[in-house]
Amino acid sequence: MRAVYFRDGEVELRETCGTPDEGVRVRVRSIGICGSDLHMLGMKSPLQCVAGHEVAGVLDDGTPVAVEPSVPCHECASCRAGDYNLCPVGAGRSLGVGRNGGMADELRVPESCLVYLPSSIDLRDACLVEPLAVVVHGMRRAGLEAGQRVAVIGGGAIGLCAVAVAKADNATVGLSARYDHQVAAGRSLGAGEIEGQYDLVVECAGTEKAVNRAIKLCRPKGKILILGTHWNGIPLQQIPAMMKEITIVFSFMYAANGAVRDFDVAAMLLARHPEIAKALITHRYPLAEVKQAFAVARDRKAGAIKVVLEP
């Protein structure tokens, strides 16, 4: 089988005779390229495993699944409470980070990673369940309520997923995005321009400027949900945030709310709203063209939002 590795800042497609992983075999049908993949590609110490954590495919019997990349211990206090994203060993061994991921013809995963999909989802789009689950979890952390005013800063895949999740909850959504194609994608999902103050501001740009704009846009006693990844920390304007008593909410990956995983909610949402995939997926490549796919994903100006590989 073929699998994608990162080496010396380069993407490498290798022919391998499989991986030693145990678990259920998933034949990959779609796998998304994420901003964190681009970040890991550029890191000094290269990833030791197959890349990729936005995975959808089929089991040997043809059952369609998305793959939740979390591999928590299932035993610690956080895991037992359903907060398995906070498991102390979980993040380091998740798929595409510490264990072989899905940029490959197939992968083997623990059964707990399987997310059974409604049959109405196109498997070519189902790799989007992962970024949607990130947003579903964040909105749950932020206590999104029906009909709220929500501003989204950042028009990448996570920002557009935030628009979609907020609209599904009947929010009035304003989007601030850098590029015209992102604005157009946001419009197609129901986002308008930003004006006035907001109950909830979702920061999805990962920049200092975005965080401080979020503080300006947030109403007194409102909330800011940080979904952007600030690899070098956030210098934020504390005084205006303090004077409005803003609550800043952090969020990490996805977890479960009782028996329902954020991933399950995300899968239902994607099934009910095919327009999300239409707005987000701008490019599709066969696995053999993975280098080209990464080059396009890296170049935001080229019009890419979500670039998907189809093994």
Binding residues for Zn ion (CB under 5 A) = 34, 72-73, 76, 79, 87
With CA atoms as reference, report the closest residue to 66 among 78, 74, 54: 54
Q: Give 33 or 185: the residue with its C-beta nearer to Zn ion.
A: 33
Which CB contacts under 8 angstroms, 24+ apart, belong to 196-200? 196/149, 197/149, 197/222, 198/149, 198/150, 198/151, 198/174, 198/222, 199/145, 199/148, 199/149, 199/150, 199/223, 200/142, 200/144, 200/148, 200/149, 200/150, 200/151, 200/166, 200/171, 200/224, 200/225
Closer residue to Zn ion in complex, CB, 67/87: 87
In the bound state with Zn ion, the residue whose beta carbon lies nearer, of 111 and 245, is 111
For tokens 């696995």, what's the residue? 287
**121, 270 Cβ separation under 8 angstroms:** yes
- Cβ at position 15, least distance to Zn ion in Å: 26
CB of 142 to Zn ion, least distance (A): 19
Please tell me the total number of residues recorded for the chain in this structure.
311
Minimum Å distance from CB 99 to Zn ion?
Answer: 15
Closest approach of Zn ion to the CB of residue 243, in Å: 35
Question: C-beta of 73: minimal distance to Zn ion in Å?
Answer: 4
Output 51 or 142, the one with its CB closest to Zn ion. Answer: 51
Q: How far apart are CA 119 and CA 244, in angstroms?
A: 46
CB of 35 to Zn ion, least distance (A): 7
* Cβ contact 154:177 at 8 Å: yes
Q: Are strands 247-250 and 198-203 parallel, antiparallel or unpaired?
A: unpaired
User: Considering beta carbons, is residue 246 or 293 the nearer one to Zn ion?
Assistant: 293
Closer CB to Zn ion, residue 155 or residue 174?
155
